[in-house]
Amino acid sequence: MAKAIHPAPFDLHPSVAYVQAILANFKAKTGHALEDWVVFLRREQPADPKGWLKAQGLGTNQAGFVLQRAGAAPGHAFDDTPEGYLAAAPGYVDAQYGGKKAPLRPLFEQVVALVRNLGSDVKVCPCETMVPFYRNHVFAEVKPYASRLDLGLALGDPATVADSSGKLKDTGGFQKKDRITHKLELVSEADLKAALPWLQRAYERDGD
């Protein structure tokens, strides 16, 4: 009988702290609290809400938060409290592995367990379309497709990465200065076992 797979707990996404810092300094930076700007926006009802807010001196991120609070733009839990993000995170994963992708959920849980075993400082922080893994930075991420998982890895310059199996693919990320530079396609536990050395390497590269 297959071993039961238990849903993984999740960690606070680094973006939450960044957003919270912006929100905490809103009045100091703009002259008014975020809630005040929501009131102003609803009162003025400009034809171009974002343009109007930026004309008042708000930055792009600040204007975005006002628009979200005013209901003029979609938002997500990254704009909320840490508690809000952690409450929303399981729903992100459920949505990713719903419907036809549901059979991939056990493999995803095994990926998470494998990554957790790399070290106590690993953080699993779901987004809406993928699940990144952090140490100091993103060192890997997993995203579901119709019949496979793509495991993205931060391995650096492809010229320094030799893979005799031919399964490790260059994403072009290094040339674009992206964190994720390589990927592996996972469809089975055997694929996951083969991915472990690459996960370990990505984790260790992010140790500084």
pLDDT at position 3 is: 42
Q: What is the mean pLDDT of the chain?
A: 90
Percent of the chain with pLDDT over 90: 76
Q: What is the mean pLDDT of residues 189-196?
A: 95
Q: What is the pLDDT of residues 2-21, one digit of tens each?
A: 444 444 589 999 888 888 88
- Concatenate the DSSP letters of all residues of 90-140 into one string: HHHHHHHTSGGGGGGHHHHHHHHHHHHTT-TT-EE---SS-EEEESSSEEE
pLDDT at position 93 is: 95
Rg over alpha carbons for the chain, rounded to the nearest Å, is 20
Q: What is the mean pLDDT of residues 155-162?
A: 95
With a cut of 90, say whether residue 111 has pLDDT above it: yes
The model's pTM is 0.79
Q: What is the mean pLDDT of residues 137-158?
A: 97
Q: Give the 3-state secondary structure of residue 186.
A: strand
DSSP E strand boundaries for the chain: 123-124, 131-134, 138-144, 149-153, 169-170, 182-186
Contact 58, 30 (CB under 8 A): yes
Kindly indicate the confidence band of residue 1, based on its pLDDT and cuts at 50, 70 and 90.
very low
How many other C-beta atoms lie within 10 A of the C-beta of residue 22? 16
